[in-house]
Amino acid sequence: MTSTQRAAAAVATCPSCGTRNRVPVARRGRVRCASCHAFLPWIVDADDATFDDAVVHSSLPVLVDVWAPWCGPCRAIAPVVEQLARERAGELKVAKVNADVSPQVSARHGVTGIPTLLLYANGAEAARTVGAVPAPQLRSWLDASLAAAGSTGAAADAR
């Protein structure tokens, strides 16, 4: 791991054993705990420079949360998005994109309102929803979108 990759890595606490693990922004396959080998929730920050590596080239489906720190509805759905990452560890990656510091990602996707959630599967945008929605509605949207995209993450490399 280079110093640039190390700087871009996040730290995730294993829900099974509590070990803190460095989680890279981009890599093939899934991420596992270094101690107990359980799948880890994969939540990363992506920006204009890292978006393609973190999202487009991912072997797992990626839920992209385009948000801003000043946005109340964005802050309201953040715990729901993080819970989905925990529930679907090993099946789904979550990439958080701050619209204020990543205007190219927002422009590229035609984001005009936040929060915007994009589902990427097989390297392309498969679905999107705009605005804060209750957890059950978001979960239903994600399930339906993954099914329509034909991607559950189960076929991803098990590394």
User: Of residues 14, 17, 36, 74, which has the active-site annotation?
Assistant: 74
Q: How many other C-beta atoms can be found within 10 angstroms of the C-beta atom of residue 71?
A: 18
User: Of residues 14, 33, 36, 71, which has the active-site annotation?
Assistant: 71
In sequence order, the 6+-apart residues with CB closer than 8 A to the CB of 138 are 77, 80, 81, 84, 117, 129
Distances from the Cα of 13 to the Cα of 18, 23, 48, 103, 118, angstroms = 6, 10, 26, 30, 25
Q: In 3D, which of 76, 85, 111, 120 has the Cα closest to residue 10? A: 85
The answer to whether residue 74 is catalytic is yes
The answer to whether residue 71 is catalytic is yes
Structure tokens at 11: 């730290």
By CB neighbour count within 10 A (0-12 exposed, 13-18 middle, 19+ buried), where does 154 fall? exposed
Catalytic residues: 71, 74
